[in-house]
Amino acid sequence: MITPSILALVIICLIFVMQFGHLREPLMIMGTIPLSFICIIWGLKFTGYSIG
């Protein structure tokens, strides 16, 4: 399960690099998504709400 996920992320990153032409923009996009999930979970715990 981990290997296909890593392969999918690499392919998505390669597509982003081909679209943007640089490595910086795809890395910023790929880094923003996990950080947003961390902040969402922190915000839910801070306010006392649950995901479900």
* pLDDT tens digits in sequence order for the chain, 52 residues long: 789 999 998 999 999 999 999 889 998 988 998 899 999 999 999 999 888 7
- The tokens describing 28, both together, are 């910023």
Q: Is residue 52 part of a domain?
A: no
Most distant CA atoms of the chain, gap in Å: 43
Q: Is residue 11 part of a domain?
A: yes
CB 15 within 8 A of CB 2: no
Our count of domains for the chain comes to 1
In which domain, by residue range, is 24 found?
2-47
Q: Is residue 9 part of a domain?
A: yes
Q: Is residue 37 part of a domain?
A: yes
Task: Supply the pLDDT for residue 51.
Answer: 82
The helix/strand/coil state of 52 is: coil
Q: Is residue 33 part of a domain?
A: yes
